[in-house]
Amino acid sequence: MRILVVDDEPGMRQGVVRALKGFTVHMHDLNDDVGFEIDQASSGEEALAKIATTQPDILLIDHKLPGISGLDVLEKIATRHENMLTVMITAYASLDTAISATKKGAYDFLAKPFTPERAGFF
């Protein structure tokens, strides 16, 4: 599975990479273990460029980014990427932001900081 981690904080991106490195999930429908190929972007614009060339299966995106926000990215990709699972991550968690993110296609919303267990990685 391809994961794109979009966050302007290198430590957050690297944390996700470390948490998922070598981790596999057993897919019962496929009767196989699936690993993760992780790509990173530090801005919304970079994320859009990467999504346009190689759509990830999972998008983990920060709300506050330099340039366009994570919500702006969700809005731009909402109609084109129906099969991509999107999770918004942010240190600026609010009910309004969570509602906006889910209305724009986010599957879930995580407040930073979070642990791999809380994020459902393990």
Condensed to tens digits (0 to 9), the pLDDT of residues 73-100 reads 998 888 776 688 888 887 766 667 666 7
Give pLDDT tens digits for 29-80: 888 998 889 999 999 999 999 999 999 999 999 988 999 999 899 988 887 7
CATH number of the 2-119 domain: 3.40.50.2300
Give the global pTM.
0.81
Confidence band, pLDDT 50/70/90 cuts, at residue 116: low
pLDDT of residue 122: 44
What would the two tokens of residue 49 be? 């460029």
Residues in the chain: 122
Contact status, residue 61 vs residue 9, Cβ threshold 8 Å: no
Contact status, residue 40 vs residue 17, Cβ threshold 8 Å: yes
Q: Give the residue extent of every domain in the chain.
A: 2-119
Residue reference for tokens 């993760």: 36
* DSSP 8-state code for residue 30: T
What would the two tokens of residue 6 be? 């979009």
> From CA 117, how far away is CA 55, in angstroms rounded?
26
